[in-house]
């Protein structure tokens, strides 16, 4: 589905710091091997309910400028020199569903995608799974990229979580800001690799519900910003 409407191009002076940070995040995703070429996308919530700033469709990070980032409103209307990412609905709906989401990253990271293509969620093979809000990282059901069905499937898998895999597709994570979301995405890909490698040895020994409940309780304060 294409964005609902097109507004006049955004002025590059709109949210300059967020534009630079968003483009920097896309470069960092490439450096961390989360994305290659035009795959993947990222966004950041704008203040005062002004929608989101999202990476453009079909442009590799190395060919983007800060002014290429698109402003997308809640109704799907957008401003910018290039169309927003085809996954704009997924990002928009995550912001709508989760007040704590300040930034969203979607990637076709190698190990996350390998598991997603087997339609495997990640069980509690390691206690750091709790970093993502529960005792598992689910895999959302398959739906065509850029569709409302994909967004609906992801939201269902994200209940009580800040990350999930997307069947035959990749991963999506959200964090309180771009730096937090990037750190979570890198950590999720690391866990996906560890789980993939564990499966090469045999069936992993999983942590129990009681053991994961204790870890999840500890993670209520782990990594939280100081107030």
pLDDT exceeds 90 at position 93: yes
Q: Does the structure show a pLDDT above 60 at 104?
A: yes
- Runs of H (alpha helix) within 58-206: 88-97, 110-117, 148-157, 178-201
**29-51 pLDDT, tens digit each:** 999 999 988 889 999 999 988 89
Q: Compute the mean pLDDT over every residue in the chain, rounded to the nearest whole number.
A: 92
Q: What is the DSSP letter of 207?
A: P
* The predicted structure's pLDDT at residue 13: 53
Going 219 to 42 to 164 to 1, the CA torsion angle's sign is positive
Residue 221 confidence (pLDDT): 76
Two tokens, residue 198:
């564990």
Q: What pLDDT, in 10s, does the model give residues 152-204? A: 999 999 999 999 999 999 999 999 999 999 999 999 999 999 999 999 999 99
Packing angle, helices 178-201 and 110-117, rounded to 10 = 60
Higher pLDDT, 14 or 127: 127
Alpha-carbon gap, residue 52 to 44, rounded angstroms: 6
Q: What is the mean pLDDT of residues 113-125?
A: 98
- Indicate if the pLDDT at residue 11 is higher than 60: no
| The predicted structure's pLDDT at residue 12 | 47
Tell the CATH topology of 16-218.
Answer: L-fuculose-1-phosphate Aldolase (3.40.225)
**pLDDT for the residue 219:** 86
The answer to whether residue 3 scores a pLDDT higher than 60 is no
Q: Identify which of 162, 106, 176 has the alpha carbon closest to the alpha carbon of residue 130.
A: 162
Torsion angle (degrees, nearest 10) of CA 191, 119, 170, 146: -150
**pLDDT of 96 above 90:** yes
Question: Assign residue 182 a region: left if phi > 0, alpha if psi is -120 to 50, beta otherwise?
Answer: alpha
> Are 112 and 171 in contact, with CB atoms under 8 Å apart?
yes
Q: Tokens standing for 58?
A: 């079909």
Active site residue 214: no
pLDDT at 223: 62
Q: Where are the domains of the chain?
A: 16-218
Eight-state DSSP code of residue 134:
S
**8 Å CB contact between 129 and 135:** yes
Provide the b/e sequence for 60-77 (b: ≥16 CB within 10 Å).
ebeebebbbbbbbbeebe
What's the pLDDT at 189? 98
From 62, 67, 87, 214, active-site residue: 87
Mean pLDDT of 77-104: 96
pLDDT band at 109 (very low <50, low <70, confident <90, very high): very high
CB contact at 8 A, 71 and 56:
no
């Amino acid at each position: 589905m294409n964005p609902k409407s097109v507004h006049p191009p955004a002025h590059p002076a709109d949210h300059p710091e967020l534009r630079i940070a968003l483009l920097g995040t896309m470069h960092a995703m490439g450096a961390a091997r989360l994305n290659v070429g035009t795959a993947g996308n990222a966004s950041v919530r704008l203040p005062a309910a002004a929608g989101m700033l999202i990476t453009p469709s079909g442009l590799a990070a190395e060919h983007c400028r800060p002014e290429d980032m698109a402003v997308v409103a809640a109704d799907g209307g957008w401003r910018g020199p290039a169309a927003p990412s085809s996954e704009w609905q997924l990002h928009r709906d995550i912001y709508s569903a989760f007040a704590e989401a300040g930034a969203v990253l979607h990637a076709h990271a190698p190990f996350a995608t390998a598991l997603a293509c087997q339609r495997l969620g990640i069980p509690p093979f390691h206690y750091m799974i709790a970093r993502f809000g529960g005792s598992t990282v689910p895999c959302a059901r398959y739906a065509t990229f850029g569709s409302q069905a994909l967004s609906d499937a992801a939201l269902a898998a994200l209940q009580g979580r800040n990350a999930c895999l997307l069947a035959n597709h990749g991963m999506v994570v959200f964090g309180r800001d771009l730096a937090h979301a990037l750190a979570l995405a890198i950590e999720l890909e690391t866990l996906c690799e560890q789980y993939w490698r564990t499966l090469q040895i045999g069936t992993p020994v999983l942590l129990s519900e009681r053991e994961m409940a204790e870890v999840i309780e500890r993670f209520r304060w782990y990594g939280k910003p100081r107030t």
